[in-house]
Amino acid sequence: MASQQTIGEDKRVRNNLVLKRISTIFKLEPHKLIDVFQLAEVSIKESQLEGWLKNENDPEYQPCLDIDLAGFLNGFINDARGKKEGKAAKVEHTLSNNMILRKLNIALDLQAEDVLDIFESVELTLSKHELSAFFRKPGHKHYRACEEQTLIRYLKALELKFGE
């Protein structure tokens, strides 16, 4: 049972890291982050956001749950590409590294070649087939789970491409 808690805690740390990195790379101030959440019809309090952006060892640190990060990423897509007519996209309760990678690519309107080039910038060479395996449904025979280190390297590559 303890290992399941550890995995859950790691995901929350991952979620906080993704939120912090995206806000840093794209220079999203707290008020803008709150607006991004609202674009996905998710309301958050400023105190929640502040807790999510704190360092893990800060006593005011708060873990960012999958549903929170999913709401942010959906809003990030809406902010970058424009909100579609109709009902807001469903905010997922669980979020895998593959889903995070997919949502970031949608928001940034990246094609496979762009993503491969971005990975290449951090010396991670993938074939088109390896990349497409990240975007397949779990259970598909060619599905491949996106490892934590791969996601972290991708965030670093996004920083190189879009940051200063």
Mean pLDDT of the chain: 90
pLDDT band at 12 (very low <50, low <70, confident <90, very high): low
116-145 tens-digit pLDDT: 999 999 999 999 999 999 999 999 999 999
The CB-based long-range contact list for 30-37 (8 Å cut-off, 24+ gap) reads 33/72, 35/75, 35/79, 36/72, 36/75, 36/76, 36/78, 36/79, 37/71, 37/72, 37/75
Whether 3 shows a pLDDT value over 50: the answer reads no
Residues 148 and 70 in one domain: no
Enter the pTM of the model.
0.89
Residues 76 and 102 in one domain: no
CA nearest 63: which of 7, 11, 12?
Answer: 12
Residues 84 and 144 in one domain: no
Question: How many angstroms from the chain centroid is the CA of residue 22?
Answer: 8
Give the model's pLDDT for residue 13: 77
Residues in the chain: 164
Residues 91 and 121 in one domain: no
64-101 tens-digit pLDDT: 999 999 999 999 999 998 877 777 678 999 999 999 99
Residues 87 and 124 in one domain: no
Non-local (6+) Cβ contacts of 16 within 8 A are: 52, 53, 56, 61, 63, 64
Residues 122 and 89 in one domain: no
Q: Is 141 exposed, middle or buried (0-12, 13-18, 19+ CB in 10 A)?
A: exposed
Query: Which of 95, 119, 136 is a domain's end point?
Result: 95
Q: Which domain holds residue 134?
A: 96-164
Number of domains forming the structure of the chain: 2
